[in-house]
Structure 1
Amino acid sequence: MEDEDLHNRSMSLQSEEDEPHNQSLSELQTTDSQKKKKKPRGPSKGLKSMPGVPRVLEWDELCRPIGKWAKASKIHVGEISRAKVSILYKDWNQVPQGIKDTLWEDVKREFQIEEDEDKKKKVLRTCDKTWRDFKIKLVSGWITCTRNMPKEIRMSYVLYDFISEDMWKTFVEEHTTDDFKEISEKARQSQSFNE
């Protein structure tokens, strides 16, 4: 009988201890889920410096970057083309040759690329593509709002330190004209035919 009483008391104590624990666990789960808001992706931080580690970019027979540093080179190319080429140029043909040469010299130095005209063309083509993609992201994210962006997104000139507020205002004015909207709509219709 005493064993049964002891067992019942220990069970009731255990259930009393479990209830607050279960409540606090569920409370913790709700507060954790409330805290876990997905942060928007910010600008790329670029390559981390690795003193003494040479970054040697390898190339295949079609003059495409391959190997250990291929992905890092693409990230670096995108970062420097966004930072060094103004968003106010209409297209890549308007970018001065001096800026293009600076981009090539930067990539060549960073990844120990020998002077080669085919490799230079490939790097500058990648610069062009990443720069255009960045401008498309700016237009669809902040001007036309066709891209899904977080509600609490900061303005582009706050997010990217190489874009000034005046530059941004000029960019918005250029991309809200009737001519631009017409070109954009034609491109959107043309894109809809792609499978």
Structure 2
Amino acid sequence: MVSQDQSKDSVSKKNGGKELGMVTPQDKPLKKMKFVSSAETEPTSTTTISEDSKSGRGMSTMPRVVKRKLQKIKPVVEYNKRGKGCGPAHTEMQSYIGVLAPSRVPLVDKKWAEIPKDIKEQIWEAVDMAFVVGQGGKTSVLSLAAKKWKDFKSTLTRHYILPYIKEREKLSQPPEIYKFIEKAEWDAFVASRLSKEFECVHSQHSQIREKLEYNHRLPRKRYAGLEDQLEETMLGVEIDRSTLWKKARQDKHGNIPDPKVVEKAKLMVSLHTLF
């Protein structure tokens, strides 16, 4: 007689070492991620974005996300007590939106509000099919998409356009790593970044950045992720804004390299003691 455990093991081997609805360790780049089957959630949309073939502006996927879609498994995005997204599923969703937004939204010198609604809808539908977004929903996803799109244009400007102002021949083609950018839109974008109007705006923003004295050292997880981490490691300690501010400016050894930040941190401690 074959035991229940042996039967399970047999099925698992037939499926390449996986049981239905399970994710193997090599499929999980992030830990502590909560999953639900798509069957447990109400379908809210039908995406029009093709993710298994190169179409439109090109591939806009992360393979592991597409794989889970086929398995009908969706990570649940978590939120901390302040209502900010946190945890591995939120981090992965950010990465996914960071791939979707640049490759699906045209590279134009416009504001996000001017982008056609159908393009925004496609981004939301793709994310909604891949994650259980929860609170904030569509609004938070599109807000993040707007930021990712803006950041992408900033990256192109800083790394692929401004350094070659005196070598215009190097601006004749889009960067090789961004194959989804059409030459016509690249040419138009380059022209906008070399204009007198942009030069003026760029100069103003540079002056503002130079005035920032207390830059944080946080990676992509930002403050919400830091707070989530501290709540796990500093049990019983209230994580207030001053604690977050100081921790965000420490290096991996717990030191604050910038003397100006050290002085500001000391001032915070003294004020906290008074109150």
TM-score, normalised relative to structure 1: 0.65
| Counterpart selection for 1:97 from 117, 120, 126 | 117
Q: How does 1:62-141 map to 2 (within 5 A)?
A: 62-113=82-133, 118-141=136-159
1:119 and 1:131 map into 2 onto residues whose CA distance is: 19
1:181 and 1:113 map into 2 onto residues whose CA distance is: 39
Aligned residue for 2:187, secondary structure, equals helix
1:101 and 1:61 map into 2 onto residues whose CA distance is: 29
2:204 and 2:190 map into 1 onto residues whose CA distance is: 19
Q: CA deviation at 1:61?
A: 4.1
Judged with a 3 Å threshold, the aligned counterparts in structure 2 of structure 1 residues 73 and 121 are, in CA distance, closer, same or farther, namely same
Aligned residue for 2:198, secondary structure, equals helix
Point out the structure with the larger helix share.
1
Q: How does 1:177-192 map to 2 (within 5 A)?
A: 177-192=195-210
Q: CA deviation at 1:80?
A: 0.4
Percent of aligned positions with the same letter in both sequences?
A: 24
1:169 and 1:57 map into 2 onto residues whose CA distance is: 38
AA aligned to 1:81 is A
Q: CA deviation at 1:160?
A: 1.1
TM-score, normalised relative to structure 2: 0.47
Judged with a 3 Å threshold, the aligned counterparts in structure 2 of structure 1 residues 172 and 89 are, in CA distance, closer, same or farther, namely closer
Q: CA deviation at 1:142?
A: 1.3
Cα RMSD of the aligned pairs, angstroms, is: 2.5
List runs of 5+ in structure 1 lacking aligned partners. Answer: 1-43, 147-154
Per-residue CA deviations over 1:84-143 (Å, capped at 9, x if unaligned) read 1111142212112222222112111110335x6x33222111111111111011011111
Q: CA deviation at 1:56?
A: 2.3
Is 2:62 the counterpart of 1:46? yes
For the pair shown, the structure with the greater C-alpha radius of gyration is 1
Q: CA deviation at 1:187?
A: 1.0
- Name the counterpart of 1:194: 212
Judge conservation of contact 2:160–2:175 (CA < 8 Å) in 1: no
2:152 and 2:198 map into 1 onto residues whose CA distance is: 17
Aligned length, in residue pairs: 144
Q: CA deviation at 1:145?
A: 1.5
Judge conservation of contact 2:77–2:131 (CA < 8 Å) in 1: yes
1:67 and 1:194 map into 2 onto residues whose CA distance is: 29
- Name the counterpart of 1:144: 162
Judge conservation of contact 1:64–1:122 (CA < 8 Å) in 2: no
Judge conservation of contact 1:60–1:66 (CA < 8 Å) in 2: yes
1:136 and 1:103 map into 2 onto residues whose CA distance is: 20
Aligned residue for 2:163, secondary structure, equals coil
- Name the counterpart of 1:58: 78
AA aligned to 1:134 is F
Judge conservation of contact 1:156–1:163 (CA < 8 Å) in 2: yes
Aligned residue for 1:69, secondary structure, equals helix
Q: CA deviation at 1:45?
A: 6.8
Runs of 4+ in 1 over 6 A off after TM superposition: none
